[in-house]
A = this chain, B = another copy of it.
Amino acid sequence: MVPRGPRMYLVNQFTSGSRPVKRIADSTVRRLSAYLRFLEDFEHRGLATISSDELARRGGTTSAQVRKDLSFFGSFGKRGLGYSVPELAGRLREILGLGRDWRVIIVGTGKIGAALARHHGFRQRGFMIVAAYDNDPAIVGADLDGLTVRDISRLESDVRREHPDIAVLAVPEEAAQPVAQRLVKAGIKAILNFAPAQLQVPADVTVKTVNMAMELEGLSFALTNRE
């Protein structure tokens, strides 16, 4: 029934002038993220240039795909030479919005939420965990690597005052939708959801769901259905 448009994004700020607006597929964004990772590796090793073919090999895709992905945003390479590693890395950071810090809150500090709160890898990429929430009085007040777990009753007032950009949702399945609604109402526009639930949110809110049960079932399917 309900017709759905593909989940894509405007990139009008990249298309100069008044040309028709471009839309970027999710899969493209994921690959850009992967390319950036490889470029950072190359940067560390002091390499100056890289070809679409090398990026493709590292990313498990094709050189044509790499060039097409980049072409949505501009022409960053030199024919006959390839791409300047630092320049392309910079462009990708800009495209992905990594030129600034993002304020992240974690909602639900059970096993997964707590592990995420303690994970320092996010900070390095500009995702600053600024608060963590739980509804269990036994957990509220606890310390998570310098972060004090707050009572979830403060969620709305905190969000309105501290305007975090991204909420990581790590609550039990049955709490996921109600908490998501509270987050949206308080003004959150981006949610990383670890609950095995399909969240219903307004179109201007972006949700990425990480569903480990689903991934395991995908592996089960693959193991079961092989020639």
Contacts and interface: CB of A to CB of B under 8 A. Distances in A.
Contacts of A47: none
B222 A98 contact: no
A114 to B, nearest CB: 7
Contacts of A12: 227
Copies in the complex: 2
Given A59-B198, A216-B166, A217-B33, A9 B222 contact: yes
Interface string A12-45: 1100000001001010011011101100000000
A56 interface: yes
A1 B111 contact: no
Nearest to A58: B198
B221 A95 contact: yes
A218 B219 CA distance: 24
22 contacts: A1-B63, A4-B62, A10-B226, A29-B217, A29-B218, A29-B221, A30-B214, A95-B221, A98-B217, A98-B220, A102-B216, A102-B219, A104-B216, A111-B118, A112-B115, A121-B196, A125-B213, A165-B223, A166-B219, A206-B218, A208-B215, A208-B219
Given A102-B219, A111-B115, 10 more contacts: A1-B57, A2-B57, A9-B225, A9-B226, A11-B225, A34-B214, A36-B217, A112-B119, A190-B223, A206-B222
